[in-house]
Structure 1
Amino acid sequence: MTSSSSDLQTDSQSNLAAPLEVPAAAADAFNQAHTDFKAGRWAEALAAYEAALRIAPQLEVAALQRARCLVRLGDFAVAREGFSQLLKAFPGNYSGWLEAGHLCRQQGVHQQALASYSRAIALVPARFEARLSLARLLEDMGQMEAGAAEYHRALAAAGADKNRLVHWRMAKYRLERGDAARALESLRQALLVLRIGQEPIDENERAEMQMDLGDIFMRLGMTEDGHRAFERASVGTSEATLVRLADLSFRYNLWQEAQAVLRRNVELHPGSDLAHWNLAHSLAESWNMQEALEELAKAEAIAPQSGAKSMRASVAGRTGDADTALQLYKALADEEGPGSKMHSSAAMSSLYSDKLSPRQVSDLHRELFAHLGDNARSVSSFKNDKSPDRPLRVGLVSADFHHQHPVNIFMQPVLARLDRRAVEVTMYFTGVSYDEQTQLAKRRVARWVEATTWNDSQLARRIEEDGIDILLDLSGHTSMQRMSLFGQRAAPVQATFLGYPASTGVPNIDWLVADAVVAPAGSEVLFSEQLARLPHSVFCFAPETDYPYPDYGQAHAERPLTFGSFNNVPKLTPHTVKLWAAVLKEVPGSRLLLKAPSFKDEGAIEAFAQRFLAEGIARDRLAFRGPVGLTDMMAEYADVDIALDPVPYNGGTTTLQALWMGVPVVVKAGGNFVSRMGASFMQAADLHDWVAESDADYVRIAAAMARDRQALLALKQGLRERLLAAPAWNIDQYTRDFEAALRHMWRSHCGGGPKTGAASKKKKA
């Protein structure tokens, strides 16, 4: 992670030129370096700046730019040494002290940051940037009064013409820290200065301020005010402003508004490849695949697109072609190297593959992530009290506490019931989406730490300062994950839970929470982690929203039988389509209802209609529905008689939602976690006869259950009561079982037992 987007730079980097007095060769090297720097070619720029310095060691600006390159390359230890060399040679370099302070603050080295900012202030006391950065740091350290004093000194140094900027920047700093209330105070001051000022203000600057205001309102739960601020921001015209507005809107689930902004951006900037690219990306993320590819083609017609392969991989995965997606993501991971997020995309794609065996999927995960354990911290370096029965400090790392996300749906009831005398929870929130569910989670944990903008070093330092005993990953290889943090070990005990239905393959994740069905005895070889098996089911569905149960009557037994699936399109693999087609053939007159976000796209509907037609199923036996709100979606289960579980990636949340709404599910027990979730849920519901061991068994069970409509109706009428009587749906007991699993992990650590998934290769203290 590079410097925060709101860290102030103190000089322009766009028009730098070598001083005239340096040798021509040094000037040439410097100018080439700066061309590379502006283009984002950090390694090439670094080499050229170093070449200039070898010829002209007195070239101070090259030394500063060299340090900046090191920051952008992400090796922060080397970058700090680069600033040390710069400031030893040029101790009067204000920008060097300021940016060294930024780097130390990002790494959580507060005292060194404090010293760096103080040196910058002593050098040029009349400038405001270092004073404002010091104010930010002091607030980060909890020294609010000292921070306020430095904030006011920054305002005095800035003068009336720049006070708006100081207030605005402080608002950004405070929002990054998660202090939305104080951020609102600063931004209101900035807006006040804007209103009473005499200078004309660019419409895009006004729009940017309104976006920040909307972001603050949304974080505070003031949704209507936030929407109005975003609407005021829509008057912006610059491409950067409109793209940022679309991104913010998308974060807050305003998908239609985001796409309207990006379409306007294309209208205003029709010759911009980035305008078309951003619209294509938004369309792909909202499952409009056909139009996304059309916009991508328009972008590529203007200029080559470095992200085109990634987008095509995403489209392939989202249209059910997991093997093409896997191939493309693996190629990208190889091209981009060890730090590439494409490793996780490849891992995720492998879970959907019809062609890979469970062992091949497991081996691929280990292969993809072995490097994350290189030079990892040792378990013995942590000094936590090893008393086995003392209260535990548990940290959660997640980006996903917001409306409709499965992690939020399953974890909220647990957070509400955890025994705070036994387990103290700190949430390290790494996300960008906030809503009322985010606010609810904040109230349910002992501490909430906004860590979205933090690098791994910062976050690891804070986790140690908080004395965390057990660090839980809730993301796996899904978006906004922090697998590299876990690979380097940030706590004495680390576990993964809920967010990823497979072994992560990541070194130093010691435990995976499972149950005896998704991870049966003998399957240990498929996991790089030790297994903490819950006694009933790995997930407990206990929704906090009331979803009225359908009134299943005789008419439901007499209507044409409807099978259904509400799973996302990537799960509808060729194997799944063939299997479901066989079911439809075995049950004459039956229909299949497919509901997924993709099916608002006519291209996706036509593609899947053709896939079923190739298996002998006519279009009139299929119904396709697109996305609606969660409450409306739950009500639509009343239109389904029997749900069909996909293979090899089973339904998780969707299967439990179907059961909750009275729809039994035909499932097939596969060979690994991701393909045994359905079996776990159905066995926990004591519906063993709905679990198939083979494709032929799956078709037989579906046909048999469809034939006896009266028995099916009776089951549907009482299914929710059946679930609530089962231990797996008792959220209070589930929470106690989860606490017991945490205690088991901790006692194992205190006893010094062996740990599967230990750090590979060298270790550091």
Structure 2
Amino acid sequence: MEPNETAERATALHRQAVAAHREGRIADAVPLFQQSLALRKDAEVYLDFGALLAALSHWAPAGAVYAAALKLAPGSLDAHYGLALAHHAQGRPAEAEPHYRTVLASCPGLGEAWNNLGVALQEQGRPGEAEAAYRAALRHQPGDAGTWKNLGVALEGLGRSAEAEAAYREALARNPDHAVTLNNLGGLALAAGRLEEAGAAGRRMAALNPADRLAWMLLGNAAHAAGRWAEAVRVNAVAVRLAPDDPAPRRNLANALAVSGRRVEAVAEYRALLGLRPDSPAVAVELAVELCGLHDTAGALAVLRGVIGRHPDHGAAWRVLGRVLGRALAGGFQPDAALDALRRAVALDPGDRAGWEDLGAVATLADRIALSIEALRRVRRLFPAYNPALAQLVQQQRHACEWRDLPALESDLIGRMRAGALGVPPFGLLAADTAPADQRAAAERWARQKAEGVAAVARPAVPGDGRLRIGYLSADFHEHATAYLMAELLERHDRAGFAVTAYSTGIDDGSPMRRRLTAAVERFVDLRDRSDLDAARAIAADGIDILVDLKGYTAFARTAILAARPAPVQVNWLGYPGTMGADFIDVILADAVTIPPGEEGFYSEAVLRLPHCYQPNDRHRAIAERTPSRAESGLPEDGFVFCCFNSPYKLTPALFDVWARLLRSVPGSVLWLYAGNPLVAGNLRREAAARGVAAERLVFAPPRPLAEHLARHRLADLFLDTLPYNAHTTASDALWAGLPVVTCRGATFAGRVAASLLTTVGLPELVTESLEAYEALALDLARGPDRLVGLKARLAAARGTSPLFDATRFAGDLEDAYRTIWQRFGPAGDRR
């Protein structure tokens, strides 16, 4: 074919291709363009062919075609623009950028090109330059909603949220139904805490397109932030149905289920999410947290060790591993592995508050007080306003008798609590200078936190046999102070009138006490490895009438079990000397001394008083026949022995002032204390020296088996009680061993227990009403040995006659109380 004929033929094919394209006959147009170009390489043909391929989103061949056009016509702005679009659409914004700039250098009035350049710059992480490009675009196309939206994205990336919001609103003014802009504006509202506005944006998006997963995700995030957990689960589930292979909505659903307390479903969603993102350490860690919440320690550890094996520098995985191992301390785990994991976590992320907090918590459980204090102080430095760390630091310094800055810390904590602070454990306030109203306020806030997301379990109708079904819930059914007090009571319960079940959430230490407690009740149920929900369901399935909580807010409490309301009547007794402030606890058992008439308003529970001391005692507590010598016990051969075997956290600087004056006033006397942590002895000896008392006048008693511990009370002359938190079990031990106790009546339940014990045992004259009177009485007794002899004789007689040591009488009184409770609080129509 002649050259002219070839050119004419190529031109004709080009015209036919363009016509086919305009008429929508793409299958005809493509080969026509190809045939034309085979005959003659022409920039115009390449440009028209590129436009067709771009319209089809066939960006790779479109880019090749535009590049060919550019070789033939290096100055072609159309070729530059087409190639820019092709590079950009294929995810290569850096290659697109110079072509956009070439176009704009010649045609600066092209608003669309400025907008596209802005997008390319934004995608390269250059939001400042992107902002300039978008503003240039808006000078030429001020009504373009998409450009206003893009400007908002750039401003948001620059941290200028208010300006970003204004830009989004400009976009919506021009296109009220633009879903992406609605979503972005909703996200800003959510971040600013304007939850209703965020929800409105999500609802508008869903109305425009019910299949828009982003709409449902925004609704889910707004509901989550507002604490509307059921709604968050519902709307996130819609998002997952719309996009089952998208990890983002599935993770939101898993998180919503987790915070709702629906751990089994959360675990299933996290596992599904790992199927989509199998190497996501964050998701695996979240799964482990939920498994731990289900008390599946083995499953949680397996997940975490797998994560650490693949990601050895993932700090959160080490932190949660340490937390899981720490929680397992109650099951007999050794603390070293937990502490090692947490040390690794804080080394990897020294600015992570949670890591230091967990290190402090596990060190506390492991009785590594120095490490705990160090970790909690680090939390305080990182986040001075964080209340839980301050509360735990105060408690740990009490345990160590580290008083140098304790008054200031305690004052700060009480001030925050009175200002309505959350995260202040009520138990720590019992040993502080707080009023009953303070303790109720803190307990109510704590109870609400513990009950958050906990739904009541169903209580099926369980046929009975006419007996009241009593359940005791505790983690202390082993060698523990609570068990020492109530073992005989459990044995003395009237099985003709009461069906008694013990629900254990603590360790089985294999001790004689564990065996004794197991035999003492009709049924002994181990719930240690059951989740809170499963444990509550098990109790409900047993048809328990009255569930008695023996833990309150002390260590290893399982408050969420009680929050699920497994029993129609729930009682706070023995383990926690104060109100629980919870609407799921109906009654607190006390006596007329611990809660005097007129103070009922300080308790959220109804107050029911036993006729004598609320605290039971076990007459079978053995006292070793052999009394150790003074030398064996580290005591001087001569001299008066004041003693206090209370936990060190109950000691206070003000009380220690009194004790130091007693030692100075009684020559040759010593103060015999429980050793506790090794820090205690050093700190107290320093405090003694500061008060003019030689360090050697403080003697520390190491732990001993109970029978031997009781026997060494014979070496002491007088037990000095603590305030504001009295001796409880330790006072009972002293009285049972024949050692008089001097106490000062406090302002709260925790500070009146020793007064109740002494009144019941027949020694009310040992109860004082002020620290001045307490000091005077102790000094008088130390200088009057004959009077002490008389008191010890009366105690010896009381062992066989006092209601304090009469477990049979106590069991009868307690059973009368249960009948009264059932009559007053049991379900109507089922009171027997």
TM-score relative to the length of structure 2 = 0.59
Quote how far apart the aligned CAs of 1:52 are.
Answer: 8.0
Asked whether the 8 Å contact 2:593–2:752 carries over to 1, the reply is yes
For 2:289 and 2:374, how far apart are their aligned partners in 1? 36
Residue 327 (structure 1) aligns with? 412
Q: Does 1:530 align with 2:615?
A: no
Q: Does 1:78 align with 2:231?
A: yes
For 2:624 and 2:768, how far apart are their aligned partners in 1? 30
Residue 435 (structure 1) aligns with? 509
Consecutive unaligned residues of structure 2, counting only runs of 5 or more, are: 1-122, 124-145, 154-178, 280-285
Within 5 Å, which residues of 2 pair with 1:285-684? 285=365, 289-296=369-376, 308-318=389-399, 319=401, 321=406, 324-325=409-410, 327-328=412-413, 331=416, 340-342=422-424, 345=425, 347-354=426-433, 356-357=434-435, 360-361=437-438, 364=441, 368=445, 390-404=466-480, 406-426=481-501, 431=505, 433-436=507-510, 440=515, 444=521, 446=523, 448=525, 450=527, 454=531, 465-481=541-557, 491-507=567-583, 509-542=585-618, 546-551=622-627, 559-598=638-677, 600-601=678-679, 604-613=680-689, 615-625=691-701, 633-634=709-710, 636-684=712-760
Asked whether the 8 Å contact 2:319–2:342 carries over to 1, the reply is no
Residue 150 (structure 1) aligns with? none
Asked whether the 8 Å contact 1:317–1:570 carries over to 2, the reply is yes
**Letter matched to residue 410 of structure 2:** A
Partner SS, residue 414 of structure 1: helix
Asked whether the 8 Å contact 2:398–2:649 carries over to 1, the reply is yes
Asked whether the 8 Å contact 1:501–1:674 carries over to 2, the reply is yes
Quote how far apart the aligned CAs of 1:491 are.
Answer: 4.3
Residue 227 (structure 1) aligns with? none
For 2:658 and 2:381, how far apart are their aligned partners in 1? 40
* Cα 1:314–1:751 shift into 2, 3 Å: closer
For 2:438 and 2:329, how far apart are their aligned partners in 1? 32
Partner SS, residue 436 of structure 1: coil
For 2:306 and 2:563, how far apart are their aligned partners in 1? 46
Quote how far apart the aligned CAs of 1:47 are.
Answer: 9.3
Residue 69 (structure 2) aligns with? none
Q: Does 1:702 align with 2:787?
A: no
**Letter matched to residue 498 of structure 2:** V
* Cα 1:377–1:419 shift into 2, 3 Å: farther
For 1:399 and 1:692, how far apart are their aligned partners in 2? 34
Q: What do you get for the CA RMSD once the two structures are aligned?
A: 6.0
* Cα 1:316–1:364 shift into 2, 3 Å: farther
**Letter matched to residue 669 of structure 2:** S
* Cα 1:298–1:704 shift into 2, 3 Å: closer
Per-residue CA distance 1:31-77 (angstroms, 9 max, x = gap): 9999999xxx9989999899689669655378469758967986432
For 1:632 and 1:259, how far apart are their aligned partners in 2? 33
Asked whether the 8 Å contact 1:396–1:427 carries over to 2, the reply is yes
Residue 142 (structure 1) aligns with? none
For 2:787 and 2:561, how far apart are their aligned partners in 1? 52
Residue 128 (structure 2) aligns with? none
Asked whether the 8 Å contact 1:322–1:349 carries over to 2, the reply is no
Residue 733 (structure 1) aligns with? 809
Partner SS, residue 719 of structure 2: strand
For 1:617 and 1:173, how far apart are their aligned partners in 2? 53
For 2:450 and 2:288, how far apart are their aligned partners in 1? 38
Per-residue CA distance 1:542-561 (angstroms, 9 max, x = gap): 17764414538999997211
For 2:221 and 2:655, how far apart are their aligned partners in 1? 51
Per-residue CA distance 1:355-412 (angstroms, 9 max, x = gap): x455x54664587579789999999x9998999x9422334444444442x3333344
**Letter matched to residue 472 of structure 1:** V
For 2:291 and 2:740, how far apart are their aligned partners in 1? 49
Asked whether the 8 Å contact 1:45–1:69 carries over to 2, the reply is yes
For 2:566 and 2:588, how far apart are their aligned partners in 1? 16
Q: Does 1:743 align with 2:819?
A: yes
Quote how far apart the aligned CAs of 1:251 are.
Answer: 2.7
Query: Which stretch shows the higher mean deviation, 93-102 or 69-78?
Result: 93-102
Residue 172 (structure 2) aligns with? none
Per-residue CA distance 1:90-143 (angstroms, 9 max, x = gap): 689899899979988998999x979x98xx9xxxxxx9969x9xxxxxxxxxxx
* Cα 1:28–1:309 shift into 2, 3 Å: farther
Quote how far apart the aligned CAs of 1:328 are.
Answer: 2.1
Quote how far apart the aligned CAs of 1:247 are.
Answer: 0.9
Asked whether the 8 Å contact 1:561–1:706 carries over to 2, the reply is yes
Aligned length in residues: 633
Residue 761 (structure 2) aligns with? 685
Residue 12 (structure 1) aligns with? none
Partner SS, residue 504 of structure 1: coil
Asked whether the 8 Å contact 1:276–1:299 carries over to 2, the reply is yes
Within 5 Å, which residues of 2 pair with 1:54-73? 58=211, 60=213, 63=216, 67=220
For 1:727 and 1:488, how far apart are their aligned partners in 2? 36
**Letter matched to residue 229 of structure 2:** F
Asked whether the 8 Å contact 2:581–2:604 carries over to 1, the reply is yes
Quote how far apart the aligned CAs of 1:680 are.
Answer: 1.7
Quote how far apart the aligned CAs of 1:526 are.
Answer: 4.4
Asked whether the 8 Å contact 2:643–2:716 carries over to 1, the reply is yes
Question: Identical aligned pairs, as a percentage?
Answer: 25
Asked whether the 8 Å contact 2:202–2:216 carries over to 1, the reply is no
Partner SS, residue 570 of structure 1: helix
Asked whether the 8 Å contact 1:365–1:504 carries over to 2, the reply is no
Quote how far apart the aligned CAs of 1:644 are.
Answer: 0.4
Asked whether the 8 Å contact 2:506–2:528 carries over to 1, the reply is no
**Letter matched to residue 436 of structure 1:** G
Asked whether the 8 Å contact 2:551–2:575 carries over to 1, the reply is yes
For 1:128 and 1:487, how far apart are their aligned partners in 2? 28
Quote how far apart the aligned CAs of 1:740 are.
Answer: 1.7
Residue 166 (structure 1) aligns with? none
For 1:267 and 1:104, how far apart are their aligned partners in 2? 29
For 1:128 and 1:670, how far apart are their aligned partners in 2? 53
* Cα 1:62–1:407 shift into 2, 3 Å: farther
TM-score relative to the length of structure 1 = 0.63
Quote how far apart the aligned CAs of 1:745 are.
Answer: 0.7
Greater C-alpha Rg: 2
Asked whether the 8 Å contact 1:478–1:500 carries over to 2, the reply is yes
Within 5 Å, which residues of 2 pair with 1:259-274? 261=340, 265=344
For 2:316 and 2:580, how far apart are their aligned partners in 1? 44
Query: Which stretch shows the higher mean deviation, 679-688 or 314-323?
Result: 314-323
For 1:665 and 1:494, how far apart are their aligned partners in 2? 33
Quote how far apart the aligned CAs of 1:657 are.
Answer: 1.9
Partner SS, residue 597 of structure 1: coil
Asked whether the 8 Å contact 1:394–1:470 carries over to 2, the reply is yes
Partner SS, residue 393 of structure 1: strand
